[in-house]
Every structure is written in structure tokens, then in C-alpha cells.
Amino acid sequence: SALKEDVPVIAEGRIWEPRQARKCLDLGAFATVVGTAITRPWVVTRRFVDAIDA
């Protein structure tokens, strides 16, 4: 596996919250990529609205 070979692993995809990024790092990722969660604020807003309306 990449972790056994000291290959840096970068976690990407579906990282919406800081706790998820922290978990990736705790599990051995070298870094995390946060895309839509910060570049499309309307998507994040919709997630909050949907959760509140549920």
C-alpha cells in the first residue's frame, strides 16, 4: 500500500467539515483537498437549509 511505501496520500472528495479533514489526517493522509465545500458556498448553504427543514 502507499502508506507502507512512504508515498504521500492526499485525501480528496466529500470532505465537507473540518472534522472529516482531521480524520483523514489522523488516518495517515499527508494532506486533504477541500473543493466544493469552500468554492461553492451556495451548496453548503443548501445543505444547512435542507438539514434544518428536515
Mean pLDDT of 24-37: 92
> Which are the contacts of 14, defined by CB distance < 8 A and separation ≥ 6?
20
pTM for the whole thing?
Answer: 0.71
Q: How far apart are CA 6 and CA 4, in angstroms?
A: 6
Phi, psi (degrees; rounded to nearest 5) at 12: -145, 140
In this predicted structure, what is the pLDDT of residue 33? 94
SS3 53: helix
Mean pLDDT of 1-23: 87
Q: Band of the pLDDT at 4, cuts 50, 70, 90? A: confident
In this predicted structure, what is the pLDDT of residue 3? 64
